[in-house]
Chain A
Amino acid sequence: MGFLTGLFWFVVVIIASMAAGWMFRAAAVGISPRGVAKELKTAPLTASFGMLMILIYIVVAVFAPLIAPFSETAIVGREYQPWDSVHLLGTDNLGRDMLSRLIYAARNTVGIAFVTTALAFGVGSILGLLAATVGGWLDQILSRTVDVLMAIPALIFALLLLTIFGTSVINMILVIALIDSTRVFRLARAVAMNIVVMDYVEAAKLRGEGLWRLITREILPNAMAPLVAEFGLRFCFVFLTISALSFLGLGMQPPTADWGSMVKDNATLISFGDITPLLPAGAIALLTVSVNFVVDWQLQRASGLKE
């Protein structure tokens, strides 16, 4: 019987989210200018649902202080209070309001993941494009260095570097950005390699365009589509890595609210059949699923993949 009710709710949730996606798409098509609306119409329901979710996360993260009923770090009750009308999701292991921390964590976790991804992306794609355009010894040095860095599994390397430099938020951002920039470098270089050999790039070189202009005006526009899709995927990886590190107690430090460490702190409740600790983990999963749905749509569109 438990299985059947579970299945029922599963189907209800799927249908509800599809309906939300459909409504969001209809609304978005209605209010956006014609060019954008045409693109949006092609979005599958999964992607519309993804976009809606991403929008909600951004709103929650930006307006966290206005939405949250309590402060991020204040102790407002006993430990592990159950759900009631004051503390909608109960309290955590120190008696802080769970819902408020969940809302503030959107700001902290997503914000830090975004900064890290942007950093990894800036460094990786600039170096990758540079390596492909200049070639020769610069390409050799950069590519071999990246090969070496990629020979060590990412999480293990991150743990090693965190031991060396100590665990703090800044160190975590830098370490993960460094590790992920190697992956971005690989992609940016591979994409740019195919563009550099084009005739129009040759023509631009002969015209006497400088290196910077060559990269930003000639190569980058044509490499943009795969790079944007990669940004979405990279964000998911970075986000999951940061959550994993925080979960292991090596990422964000208390009392900062963060989804990974919130799971860790309240995990004991799970064995008593309370799902509260699963909520922050679910928040992580929902965001990555949403981003993946949108990226999947963009990739299909860019490659014209229909099978």
Chain B
Amino acid sequence: MSHIWIMIAQRLALGVMTLFIVSLVIFLGTELLPGDFAQEILGQSATPETVAALRDRLGLNDPMHIRYINWLSDVVRGDLGVSLANGQSVSDLIGRRLGNTLSLALYAAAIAVPLSIMLGILAALFRNSFFDRFANASALTSISFPEFFVAYILIFFLAGAGGVFPSMANFRGDPTLAEFLYRAFLPAFTLTLVVTAHMMRMTRAAIINLLASPYIEMARLKGMNPMRIIVKHALPNALAPIINVVALNLAYLITGVVVVEVVFVYPGLGQLMVDSVAARDMPVVQGVALVFAGAYVLLNLTADVLATLSNPRLVHRR
């Protein structure tokens, strides 16, 4: 059992290392920003004296590595600085919206993951049939669609005139769970459509890869029914690639969320980031990018550990 923990600790250390480097890249972003940070905060009309005073207060006169260490220790303590646009604390801004984005991503994942694995198994079971070809062609098609196209098609058919669902995610008041599921259905369904195809194709490929192996042939010769062969014999061995592709797509959900949130005016992190990029509000962009990158690294890490655990040969290496 102990080497599993060692493995997890190693991966965790690697993840922290990656995050550290990512934070360095994000910090260097501010350094490259043309113009003076203090000038940017105070605006064009500020006198040189006030700019100098602010520079001193923000510690902008310190050498770069000291500022990086200060910034990093602030970040670790949860202080991401102050928005240039409205002077609000970035941590507060993110905190208010993080829950919305996470619940949207979770909602989409809860539909997409079971759906795509089931479809993938069915496509592998009935391979080369009409169903399989249709699933394959539609998968290829949906990968090529921009997210906003899928979103607007859904709005066109399911919202608007005579529609059933709201085209804008409005969270005024405190919606109950059922209300949230109803109001966030279209964005979640859009995300589902975007990621399902890829997961389905990879699940199918992972299972079909195994179907040529001798032990599957043995099971087939024993006269076992095809569904049982796939679920009981092929699926456990195909788990590692499936976990990986699921994690990859969940990570993709994180970035896909940005566009979908803008379409549906969903009050999440993506919307905040897009607005801040347009306004060049660096502290907010830095904070949101850090959160997204953190989630991304964490997901890849989890996938790595789970995929390893699913295969005893990888757990008991050497």
Enumerate chain A interface residues (CB-CB to B < 8 A). 46, 148-149, 151-157, 159-167, 236, 240, 243-244, 247-250, 260, 263, 267, 270-273, 275, 277-278, 281-282, 284-285, 288-289, 291-293, 296, 307
Tell me whether B22 and A152 are in contact (CB under 8 A): yes
A154 to B296, CA, bound (A): 11
Q: Which residues of the partner chain A approach B153 to less than 8 Å between Cβ atoms?
A: 278
Residue contact B152 to A277, C-beta cutoff 8 Å: yes
A240 and B293 in contact (CB under 8 A), knowing A292-B140, A307-B208?
no
Could you name 12 residue pairs across A and B whose Cβ atoms are closer than 8 Å? A46-B137, A155-B258, A164-B32, A165-B32, A244-B148, A248-B262, A248-B277, A263-B148, A270-B152, A271-B167, A278-B153, A278-B156
Residues of B within 8 A of A307 (CB): 127-128, 208
Measured CA separation A285–B25 after assembly (Å): 34
Cβ contact of A249, chosen from B18, B127, B143, B278, cutoff 8 A: B278
Asked if B280 contacts A248 (CB within 8 A), the reply is no
The CA of A247 and the CA of B146, in the complex, are separated in Å by 10
Task: Tell me the residues in window 268-292 of chain B with beta carbons closer than 8 Å to chain A beta carbons.
Answer: 273-274, 276-278, 280-282, 285-286, 288-289, 292
Q: Are A244 and B147 in contact (CB under 8 A)?
A: yes
Is the beta-carbon distance between B149 and A285 smaller than 8 angstroms? yes
Q: How far is the CA of A149 from the CA of B26 in the complex (A)?
A: 11
Q: B residues within 8 A CB of A270?
A: 152, 155-156, 160
Chain A proximity of B91: nearest CB distance (Å): 18
Kindly report which residue of chain A lies nearest to residue B144, judged by CB atoms: A288
A-B CB contacts (within 8 Å), total count? 143
Q: Which residue of B lies closest to A148 (CB)?
A: B21
With A and B bound together, what is the CA distance between A133 and B219 in angstroms? Answer: 46
CB < 8 Å neighbour of A163 from B128, B140, B285: B285
Which 8 A-B pairs rank lowest in CB-CB distance, beginning with the nearest? A288-B144, A281-B149, A155-B255, A289-B144, A271-B160, A273-B161, A153-B255, A156-B292
Complexed CA–CA distance, A236 and B142 (Å) = 12
Q: For the complex, what is the distance from the CA of A288 to the CA of B285, rounded to whole Å?
A: 30
Beyond A159-B277, A167-B278, whether A152 also contacts B156 by CB under 8 A is no
Question: Apart from A153-B255, A163-B277, A244-B147, what 20 extra A-B contacts exist at CB < 8 Å?
Answer: A151-B297, A153-B251, A153-B296, A155-B255, A156-B255, A159-B277, A162-B277, A163-B29, A163-B276, A164-B29, A165-B32, A166-B280, A247-B262, A267-B152, A270-B156, A281-B152, A285-B144, A288-B144, A291-B144, A292-B143
Contacts of A154 in B (CB 8 A): 255
Contacts of A271 in B (CB 8 A): 155, 159-161, 167
Contacts of B297 in A (CB 8 A): 151
A273 and B255 CA atoms in complex are apart in Å by 29
Kindly state the separation between the CA atoms of A141 and B297 in the bound complex, as whole angstroms.
21
B312 to chain A, nearest CB (A): 28
Instruction: Name the residue in A247, A291, A293 with the highest tally of chain B Cβ atoms < 10 Å from its Cβ.
Output: A247
Is residue B82 contacting chain A, with contact meaning CB distance below 8 A?
Answer: no
